[in-house]
Structure 1
Amino acid sequence: MTRYDGERTFAALPPVRGRGSVRTWWGRAWLAALEGTALDAGQLKAGRGLARAGAVGAVSVRPGRITAVVRDRDGTAHRADVLLQELSGEQWDRFLAMAVERAGHVAALLDREMPTHLVEDAELAGVELLPGLGDLEPECDCGAWDHCGHTAALCYQVARLLDRDPFVLLLMRGRGERALLDALQARGDASAGPAVRPEGVDAAEAYAAGDILPSLPDVPALPTEPGIPPSLDTETAPGAGIDPRALEFLAGRTAAQAHRMLAEALGEGHGPRPGEPEPTVARDAVRLAAGDPGRAAADRLADGSGRGREGLAVAVRAWRHGGPEALDVLDGEWTPDAGSLARARAALEAAWDEDERPALRARANRWTVVGACVQLRLGRDGRWWPYRKERGRWVPAGGAARDPATALASAERAFGQ
């Protein structure tokens, strides 16, 4: 979700299966305003299907209007808008006065709840928060004069957003969350009178009582997957030199990396895995490129990594086989010490019978099969990595294996030998 002054943009929601995708009473009240107004039940059914199938793109919410691109099942894109009357300045004044008198209403909103008594008290103050029949006005470039499948899909999608955050409705009515809270704070300060010294505990007493404080809560459960990255698909033009798609990709990859690091911290202790190479800018460029960032961003990563397009493609292949350890084997050549060399030779001798053992030519940690474009590289952890020569360049051919024969076989399978 992306915020601008007076506008919020929500990333496209994933498809939904089963019944009851809208859970809250205010979300269902929003849909009642749609379903009680639309003249064609078939269009409502079509819109509900499009929304549940994930055909609604990022939703832009601003005072008086919601907007999204909705794709038909054949892929045709349509811009859909739904308009809702903003509250007047006088109506907002009445709402704020009512909310200041009843602090529970503000607390409920901050908990992303819209209790029925809040809506009822607003109605008594002459303020209609939820839309009624005929209040949701459709506009769509498909040319329909009433609610079509595209505007209906947008409304069904917004109902899911309202489930999560009723401030979305208040923004449509004319006030964003920050502006509304600031206005409530200003009214509360004005009505509070002279400042009163807050009650509390002396700092020295609190420190002295440290040994009787309760223990920290348990570590929360790790989310099963990274969060949904923000969407920058808005009508606001980006600043000079800013690529919104590249920023969206970077945010998504950062979330995935943070999720991985958190999983390691909770399961294996803080910091990188034992033996994992230290991160660098060049290595991070390969990690990002492995996430398929698109042609433009990939070209920038190729330049920034110093590898060029072909070199980055080879590095990405290595990364996908084994992450930073595989990249270290691709880039680094090292000479094993006497102990490591003896273990490597013993592993090579044990991997094949004497009459089947391939002839190998050794250089540093690299053993090349004589007469073939196949190579084994020894990692610092004692594992073997298969390589194959393509167009004069050694490229990774598979993941690492403890057994050199297994690694060699994976190289041969990868290239159809």
Structure 2
Amino acid sequence: MSASGAKPGSSWWGSAWTEALEALSLDPARLARGRTYASEGNVGAISVAPGRIVTYVRGSRPRPYRTEIRLRALDDEDWERFLATAAANPAHIAALLDKDMPHSLVDSAAEAGVDLLPAPGDLVPSCSCPDRGHPCKHAAALCYETARLLDADPFVLLLMRGRAERDLLDDLARRNAALSVREKPAPPPFPGVPAAAALGPRTLPPLPGPLPVPPHPGHACGAYPGTRGAPDPLTLDLLVTDAAARAHTLLTSGTDPVATLTPWQDAVRLAAAQPGSGLTAATRTLYAALARATGRTPTDLARAVAAWQQGGPTGLSVLETPWDPPAGPFDRARPALAAAGLPRLRPHRNRLGDAERGIQLRLGQDDRWYPYESDPGTDDWWPTGTPDRDPVDALTALLDT
């Protein structure tokens, strides 16, 4: 999930990140466009791994672009010098535990020959878009969104440099314990407690109250293993992000709207939430996995996603379940279409269509007309456009596409 909220670079280390980006650019207009893309939520879920960050950025075209920023990972000798510098000062460890990156730690590490923050030229962007800018606006948007992640958690930078938060803290804890043993005298022997006192009945204090619900769902910003046979990393990121959003909704409202969906509806919902409509490598992998799990084909899933994006669960029902509407709106639709000079459509159950022209309107249970199209003379109907309560407007919009 992408970050949002405060201006990117509100921390000093986040500012250093954006300064490295802006020093890289030769076109301030691309940077401004990238900052706008980031603030408008065009940046998808960010996957962070040692040496790189990857996401998909929506631009002016329907298909999002795969965007990547590479940054050199530190080697084992660099990490040894950095960890020794951090463990030598307890204040540095306390600051890291508080999600803070103190100037003194970065300066001390630099004196030891370890540069944590990127300097101008250290960031290497790449993007699947045709823009040859360096960086393009999509890579700039990823950089600005990454600055928000860094503001909230400096361990994101350390992960990009090659080490995960848990591994770093465990190593620092071991080094700090070793320093404490060498520097502090052994404590006096513990006097002990009588067994009768230790095992006697006692009243436990009440459990603490529940923690407050955070204002927003959490987001995944870790690296997933690329082991053979393991799920695709970006698919895992999508599922983790969706689970966090569902958990947050359940905590705040007490209900889970997804719980009422069938496995097929939930698979369509998950696929529809992914940008790209199955056109990118990541979404093709996701579509194949969801289709296989539900006994459908990727084409079935793609058609259902189009229906879901057109009208949610009702749109999917319109695609899959014909019904017999009562007299009223359906019977008035054909004269209204004829009066507007539109093609005459033949009725069948809740549908009005012309197979030779490849156009069709379907009446949903919500009294809205859902436009469909097919190659002329075939029976391969796909949801197209936006449903409308007025069949004339719905058909006019379909004919104009």
Specify the TM-score bucket, using the shorter chain as the normaliser. Answer: 0.5 to 0.7
**Letter aligned with residue 316 of structure 1:** V
Larger Rg over CA atoms: 1
Partner of 1:175: 171
Instruction: Write the deviation string for residues 43-88 of structure 1: whole angstroms up to 9, x where unpaired.
Output: 996467469989xx8666xxxxxx52389xx978453327242667
**Letter aligned with residue 267 of structure 2:** A
Structure 2 residue corresponding to 1:281, chosen from 235, 238, 263 = 263
2:122 maps to 1:150: yes
Does the CA contact (< 8 Å) of 2:371 and 2:387 recur in 1?
A: yes
**Letter aligned with residue 302 of structure 2:** A
Three-state SS of the structure 1 residue aligned to 2:171 is coil
Partner of 2:392: 405
Shift of 1:20: 4.4
CA change 1:315–1:81 in 2 (3 A) is same
Structure 2 residue corresponding to 1:131, chosen from 95, 108, 119 = 108
Structure 2 residue corresponding to 1:162, chosen from 151, 154, 157 = 154
Partner of 1:210: none
Does the CA contact (< 8 Å) of 2:52 and 2:71 recur in 1?
A: yes
Partner of 2:381: 394
Does the CA contact (< 8 Å) of 2:264 and 2:294 recur in 1?
A: yes
Partner of 2:133: none
Partner of 1:381: 366
Question: How many angstroms apart in 2 are the aligned matches of 1:409 and 1:393?
Answer: 21
2:351 maps to 1:366: yes
Shift of 1:393: 0.6
Partner of 2:41: none
Larger RCO (alpha carbons 8 Å, 6+ apart): 2
Shift of 1:327: 0.8
**After the TM superposition, which residues 211-230 of structure 1 pair with which residues of structure 2 at under 5 Å, given as runs?**
222-223=215-216, 227-230=218-221
Question: How many angstroms apart in 2 are the aligned matches of 1:406 and 1:149?
Answer: 54
Question: How many angstroms apart in 2 are the aligned matches of 1:355 and 1:113?
Answer: 66
**Letter aligned with residue 135 of structure 1:** A
Does the CA contact (< 8 Å) of 2:106 and 2:115 recur in 1?
A: no
Three-state SS of the structure 2 residue aligned to 1:289 is helix
TM-score (norm 2): 0.56
Shift of 1:129: 10
Three-state SS of the structure 2 residue aligned to 1:238 is coil
**Letter aligned with residue 175 of structure 1:** D
CA change 1:358–1:149 in 2 (3 A) is closer
Does the CA contact (< 8 Å) of 1:374 and 1:388 recur in 2?
A: yes
**After the TM superposition, which residues 336-351 of structure 1 pair with which residues of structure 2 at under 5 Å, given as runs?**
336=325, 341-348=326-333, 351=336
TM-score (norm 1): 0.54
Question: How many angstroms apart in 1 are the aligned matches of 2:2 and 2:353?
Answer: 50
Structure 1 spans left out of the alignment, 5+ residues: 1-10, 32-42, 61-66, 99-104, 120-127, 140-145, 207-213
Question: How many angstroms apart in 1 are the aligned matches of 2:324 and 2:2?
Answer: 52
Shift of 1:286: 1.9
**Letter aligned with residue 131 of structure 1:** S
Shift of 1:132: 5.1
Which moved further from structure 2: 353-362 or 373-382?
353-362
CA change 1:109–1:192 in 2 (3 A) is farther
Shift of 1:332: 0.8
**Letter aligned with residue 162 of structure 1:** P
Question: How many angstroms apart in 1 are the aligned matches of 2:370 and 2:240?
Answer: 32
Does the CA contact (< 8 Å) of 2:250 and 2:256 recur in 1?
A: no
| Number of residue equivalences | 320
Does the CA contact (< 8 Å) of 2:353 and 2:360 recur in 1?
A: yes
Three-state SS of the structure 1 residue aligned to 2:51 is strand
CA change 1:228–1:50 in 2 (3 A) is farther
Question: How many angstroms apart in 2 are the aligned matches of 1:198 and 1:113?
Answer: 44
Shift of 1:325: 1.3
Shift of 1:171: 5.7
**Letter aligned with residue 349 of structure 2:** A
Question: How many angstroms apart in 2 are the aligned matches of 1:402 and 1:44?
Answer: 48
Three-state SS of the structure 1 residue aligned to 2:229 is coil
Partner of 1:22: 12
Partner of 1:125: none
